[in-house]
Copies of this chain bind each other. A is one copy, B any other.
Amino acid sequence: MDGIEYIFRPKSVAMIGASPRKGTIGREILHNVIINEFNGKVFPVNPKYGVIHSIKCYSTILDVPDAVDLAIIAIPRDGVPDVAEKCGQKGVRGIVVISAGFKEVGGRGIELEDRLIEICRRYRMRMIGPNCFGVVNTDPDISLNCTFGKTGALPGRVGFISQSGALGEAIMNHAHQLGLGFSMVASIGNKADISANNILDFWKDDPRTEVILLYLENFGNPRNFTKIAREITRTKPIVAVKAGRTSQGAKAASSHTGALAELDVGVDALFDQCGVMRVSSVEELFDVASALANQPIPRGKRVAIVSNAGGPALLATDALVGMGMEVAPYTGETKRQLKRALSGQGTVNNPLDLVAGAGGKKFKAALKVVKEDKNYDSIMTIFVPPVTIDQLEVASSILEGVKDTDKMVLACFMGTEEGSDAVNFLKQNRIPVYQFPEAIAKTLYLIDSYRQWLERPLGKFRSFSVNRAAAQKILEGALETSEGAIIGEKALDVLAAYGIPVTKNEIVSSEKDAVSAAERIGFPVVLKVNTPVILHKTEIGGVKVDLRTPREVKTAFASLKKKITASKRGTARGREKFSVFVQEMVSGGIETVIGMTTDPSFGPLLMFGLGGIYVEILKDVSFGINPLNDNDADEMIKNLKSYPLLTGFRGTEPVDMPTLKESLLRLSQLVSDFDVISEVDINPFIACPKKGDSKAVDARFIVKKL
C-alpha cells in the first residue's frame, strides 16, 4: 500500500483542527466523517478542546495513542507546516490539507507550500491539497467522507477528480440532486504532491470505479496524462471539463501554425488522442456521467425515440441529426408490430408520437417492440405529463418496456421536477432521467464519439530511418545566428534529411547559373528571390512561376533583380548578395500546410490543413500532440472539413494519402528528435495523386536555444 491508498482507504483518521463550533470547517468535516459512519477510528485533534462530538480530543497528533493512517488538516495556513512535521514524526502515511492561502495567493503562500512539500518528501508522506475540499470513498468497507460539504455523496460507480475547491460543494450538491452516486471523490486543490494523474493511476484498477469525471483548470504533466488516460479509456470512460479555452489570450505568433493554435487546441488534441470525452460545462459532465454509470455504451449512432408529445420529439431529432446521429424510420417487422401493439395509432414514425393521452400501457407496448429492433442502438423516451396521467405508472411501464435490453435507454420527463416519484423511480432503477431532450441528444453524441474511439485500431508509433546528422548540422547552424529562422533551401534540406519529399532546387546568383540550374532541375521551374527578409514573397512579386524555356528564366531573373534592387529591401541586409532560388515546379496537386508549434504545457503540436484560403480565412486545420502514431495522423487528415477535396472531388483524382500521412509522421519524428525546433511551417506541401509527385515546396523553421 502506498500513500495514496492510505488516503482513500485509511483505518484511522486524525482530524486536525476539529471543532465543535457550527459553521466552522473543522466541525463540518468531523461531522461528515462521523455521520457517514467511517469504518475505522477517528481522532479529533485540537489543543482547545478535550472532547468533541463525545469523542476524546487530543492536543497534538503526537498524543494520539494509536497509529494514524490519514490526517486531515484544517487549521490557519501558517500553522500547517508545523502540524505536517508532527504528522511525519507520528508516522502518518497521508495528509489532506484543506487549508487555503498557499501557492494560489502567491508570496508567502508559495514558501509555505514549498515547506510542506519538503516535509512530505522527508517523511515519505503523500499529500492531497493544499486548498482543497477533501476526499470521499463510499466503499462500505471504508465509508469515508472528509469533506466540509453539506451534501453527502451517494454510493455509486463514478470517480470524480476536481481541481477546484470552490466548486467542490456545488458539484456534490448537483450530483445529489441528480441522484448520481460516486465511488470516490478527490478535490486535488493545488496539486502540490498528488496530481490528477496519480489518482487516475490509482483508480485504473479500482473495481468500484467504472466511470471517471475530471474538472480541470490546467495540466501538470500532459505527457503523463496521455500515457495513463490512453490506457484507462480502453476500459473506463473518462469525461472531462477543462476551463480556460481562451485564458492564454492571443500570443504573438510568428508562424501560421502558431497563430492558428490560439485557442486551446492542445487540450482538444490531447483528449481526442486519449479517447477522453471533453464536455464544455459541469452540467454536461453530469449528463454524460449519469448515462455511462447506468447504461451500456450503444453500439452505434442509431436512436429510436418514443414520445407522448410531437414537439419535443422533433426538437430531439433536430438536435441528434444536427450532431450527426441517426433517427431512421421504423421499418418492416417493427413497423407492423408497432401498428398492432398501438391499435388506433395512425402513423408509425421514428420519432414515435404516442400522443398526449398515452399512458404507461402504450409506452410499454411500444418499447417492447422497439427494444427488439437491431436497427437501433439506443432508445430515448420522452414524456410530457398531462394532468390526467399517473406519472409513476408511466415510469414503471417504461422500465418494464425496456427490460433486459442491451441498448442504452435514457428518459426525458419534461416539466417534472427533480425528485418527483416517477423520476426517482426510474433513477433508482438505473434509467437516467433528463429534463430536456436536447441534453439526451448531446449525451448520446458524446458517448458515440467515445465508442468510435474505442473502435479505432490501436495506433502504432513508427520509426523511420533518417539522416539525423544532416538535420542536426543545419539546426545547430541556425541556432548560432541571431535570427533562429531557417528558410528556403536549408529548410527543405532539413525535411529531406527526414525523408519528407521536397522539390529539387538550387540557389544561383547569375542569369547563366539560373538557366543551367533550370536545365538540371527540368522545366518548368519557379524562380524566387532568396532572402530571409521578404517573407511574403508573392505579395511583392518576388516569385515567377511556370518558366518553360531558358529565355523565360533569363527574363524572370532580370526582372526579379531589378525589382529587389529598386525596393532596397533585399539589399538592406548589407553584405548579402542578390540570389535566386530555382525550383522544380509542382503542379496538378492540392496545396496543403503541415506545421508544428510549441504549446507551453503540451510541447510540440503538429498541424495539418489545406493551403491558402482554407487556413487563412476558414481556419480549417487540425492539431495533434506530438508524438503522433499512425492513427493520430489519419485522424488529423480526416478531421478537416475540406477532407473530401483530398479524396477526389468532381472527377479529380484522390491524392496519394500514404505519402501525406507519412510526411506528418516523419515531421513528428523530426520534432521529437530536436527539442530546439519551436515552430515549423511547410507551406505549401503539394499533395499530388501520383506516388512520388507530392512535395514540400517551401518551409520555415524557428529554432530556439533551450
Contacts and interface: CB of A to CB of B under 8 A. Distances in A.
Interface stretch (A138-146, A383-391, A472-480, A658-666): A383-391
Interface stretch (A118-126, A202-210, A314-322, A570-578): A314-322
Interface string A419-446: 0000000000000000111100000000
B641 A318 contact: no
Given A247-B317, A311-B164, A539 B651 contact: yes
Contacts of A148: 387
Interface string A156-173: 000000011111011111
B315 A436 contact: no
A29 to B, nearest CB: 10
A245 interface: yes
Interface string A454-485: 00000000000000000000000000000000
A318 B166 contact: no
A280 B318 contact: yes
A65 interface: no
Contacts of A617: 641-642, 644-645, 649
Contacts of A166: 308-311, 355-356, 384, 386
Contacts of A244: 314, 317-318
Interface stretch (A20-28, A37-45, A192-200, A290-298): A20-28
Nearest to A241: B315
B24 A315 contact: no
A616 interface: yes
Contacts of A435: 283
A539 B650 CA distance: 7
A104 B315 CA distance: 19
A616 to B, nearest CB: 7
A309 B131 CA distance: 13
Nearest to A105: B346
A613 B241 CA distance: 35
A349 B322 CA distance: 37
B243 A314 contact: yes
A88 B25 CA distance: 71
A64 interface: no
A417 interface: yes
A67 interface: no
B649 A170 contact: no
Contacts of A649: 613, 616-617
B150 A280 contact: no
Interface in A85-113: 100, 104-107
Contacts of A321: 245-246
A164 B165 CA distance: 44
A564 interface: no
Residue among A169, A246, A415, A650 facing the most chain B CB atoms (10 A cut-off): A415
Interface in A353-399: 355-357, 384-388
A167 B620 CA distance: 40
Most buried by B among A163, A170, A317: A170
A674 B235 CA distance: 63
Interface in A278-330: 280-283, 308-312, 314-315, 317-319, 321-322, 327
Interface in A612-641: 613, 616-618, 620, 641
A357 B246 CA distance: 25
A177 interface: yes
A265 interface: no
Contacts of A163: 311
Contact of A280 (B170, B309, B315): B315
B243 A173 contact: no
A169 B315 contact: no
Contacts of A384: 166-167, 169-170
A165 B318 contact: no
A519 interface: no
A609 interface: no
A437 B644 CA distance: 37
A388 B314 contact: no
A280 B319 CA distance: 8
A150 B387 contact: yes
Nearest to A284: B438
A217 interface: yes
A177 B417 contact: yes
Contacts of A539: 650-651
Given A169-B387, A309-B166, A282 B436 contact: yes
A641 B613 contact: no
A174 interface: yes
A215 interface: yes
A416 to B, nearest CB: 8
B415 A171 contact: yes
Contacts of A650: 536, 538-539, 616
13 contacts: A25-B388, A105-B346, A150-B387, A169-B384, A169-B386, A170-B414, A243-B310, A280-B318, A281-B438, A282-B312, A282-B414, A538-B650, A618-B641
Given A169-B387, A247-B317, 5 more contacts: A164-B311, A166-B386, A217-B314, A245-B314, A247-B314
Which 10 pairs between the two chains have the least Cβ-Cβ distance?
A: A170-B415, A243-B314, A166-B309, A245-B318, A164-B311, A166-B356, A173-B415, A170-B414, A246-B321, A244-B314
